[in-house]
Amino acid sequence: MTAATQDQAATTAPATTAPATTVPAATDQARIAEGEAAIRALRFVKRLIVVVLFIVGLGAGLVLYRTANPPLQYGTLPPLSEAAEPPSADALTDLVVAGDEAQLADHYDGDLLAGLSSALTMGAGANDPLVQVNNIQYLGSVAQGPDILAFYIATGQMSDGTDGEAGFSLRVRDGKVVGVN
């Protein structure tokens, strides 16, 4: 082969290989587009799976909560309805906090005051009374028929000088305090 034919072959060879390189580039672009579409589809499926798992987990959690915490069963007795604090019970507790023994003795009988005194005792044998009542907190009331039970917590000092608390309830009927528990 002469030098001229070698030069001619060298110049024509790149011309014949150039179309061969453009054809694979087009197939590479198609493959890249297919790969990107597949990645988008996988990302969508992954997000969908996460959302479905969240919803299934939330539903399973609610079912588990309901089985672990069943509603209260009252049996044959219905729950008692709530009531407002009776004014007569409020007046009695105000007199106890004020320490007004004369008013207490004038307005209430001895059995009621003895029951209140025993309700304000603490300890295992209920032998440590609150000798000074600093505060009485109203907790709530329930009504059944003509009776209203008002619940309280008394805080104060016991006979040995330490702070203490005692819980009690007052039974009110027809606007009058008739019992202490």
Q: Are residues 96 and 118 in the same domain?
A: yes
- Which residue in the block uniquely carries the two structure tokens 């919803």? 55
Residues 144-169: tens digit of each pLDDT: 888 999 999 999 988 778 888 888 99
CATH number of the structural domain spanning residue 165: 3.10.450.50
Residues 118-142: tens digit of each pLDDT: 888 875 556 678 888 999 999 999 9
42 lies in a domain? yes
Instruction: Give the pLDDT confidence score for residue 58 in this predicted structure.
Output: 96
Q: SS3 sequence, the chain?
A: CCHHHHHHHHHHHHHHHHHHHHHHHHHHHHHHHHHHHHHHHHHHHHHHHHHHHHHHHHHHHHHHHHHHCCCCCCCCCCCCEEECCCHHHHHHHHHHHHCCHHHHHHHCCHHHHHHHHHHCEECCCCCEEEEEEEEEEEEEEEEECCEEEEEEEEEEEECCCCEEEEEEEEEEECCEEEEEC
Residues 39-52: tens digit of each pLDDT: 999 999 999 999 99
Q: Are residues 55 and 95 in the same domain?
A: no
76 lies in a domain? no
The total number of structural domains that make up the chain = 2
Q: Are residues 100 and 175 in the same domain?
A: yes
Residue 163's domain comprises 81-180
Residues 87-130: tens digit of each pLDDT: 999 999 999 999 888 999 898 998 999 888 888 887 555 667 88
**What predicted TM-score, i.e. pTM, was given to this entire model?**
0.58
Q: How much is the mean pLDDT over the chain?
A: 84
